[in-house]
Amino acid sequence: MTNRSGPIYEVTLFVDRDVVDDCDQWLEEHVRESLRIAGVGDCHLFSIAADDAGRAGRICQYTLESDEALDDYLDNTATDIESGLDSRFGNKAEVHARVLRQDDTHDLPADESSDCLNCGTHLRGQYCGHCGQRSRSRLIKLWELISEAFGDLFELDSRLWNTVVPLVIRPGRLTHDYLQGRRARFMPPFRMYLVLSLLFFVVAFFDPREELSLLFEPAAEAEVAAETEPGAEAEAEAEDEGGIVVAFNDNEGSEIDEDCDVDASDLDGLPEFLARRLTPERIRKVCEHIVEDEGKSLAEKVVNNIPTALIVLLPLMALVLKALYPLSRRYYVEHLLFFVHLHAFFFLLFTLQILFNRLATLFATPELAITLVLVATSIYVPIYLFVAMRRVYGQGRIVTFLKFIILTLAYFTGFSLIMTTTLALAAFSI
Q: Where are the alpha helices (DSSP H) in 98-158?
A: 142-154
Q: Count up the domains in the chain and report the number.
A: 2
Strands of 93-100's sheet in order across: 40-48, 56-64, 8-15, 93-100
Q: Is residue 393 part of a domain?
A: yes
Which residue from 415, 418, 417 is spatially nearest to 407, judged by alpha carbons? 415
Q: Is residue 152 part of a domain?
A: no
* Mean pLDDT per 10-residue section of the chain, whose length is 430 residues: 64 87 85 83 84 86 83 74 76 83 47 67 69 64 66 63 90 92 86 90 78 63 50 45 45 54 66 70 79 82 86 94 91 94 94 91 88 93 96 94 96 93 82
Amino acid identity, residue 373? V
Among 91, 107, 123, give the residue marking a domain's end: 107
Q: How far apart are CA 329 and CA 209, in angstroms?
A: 52
**Which helix (H) or strand (E) element contains residue 354?**
helix 332-362
CATH number at residue 68: 3.30.70.100
Q: What's the whole-model pTM score?
A: 0.58
Task: Looking at the structure, tell me whether residues 199 and 308 fall in a common domain.
Answer: yes
What is the per-residue pLDDT for 260? Answer: 72
Task: Looking at the structure, tell me whether residues 101 and 178 fall in a common domain.
Answer: no
Amino acid identity, residue 144? E
Q: How far apart are CA 401 and CA 326, in angstroms?
A: 17
Q: How far apart are CA 415 and CA 311, in angstroms?
A: 11
17-32: b (≥16 Cβ within 10 Å) or e? eebbeebeebbeebbe
Task: Looking at the structure, tell me whether residues 185 and 331 fall in a common domain.
Answer: yes
Task: Looking at the structure, tell me whether residues 201 and 305 fall in a common domain.
Answer: yes
Among 107, 132, 149, give the residue marking a domain's end: 107
Task: Looking at the structure, tell me whether residues 312 and 405 fall in a common domain.
Answer: yes
Q: Residue 44 sits in which domain range? A: 8-107
3-state helix, strand and coil shares in percent for the chain, rounded to the nearest 5: 60, 10, 30
What is the per-residue pLDDT for 389? Answer: 96
Beta-bridge partner residues of 100: 8
Q: How far apart are CA 198 and CA 351, in angstroms?
A: 10
Amino acid identity, residue 426? A
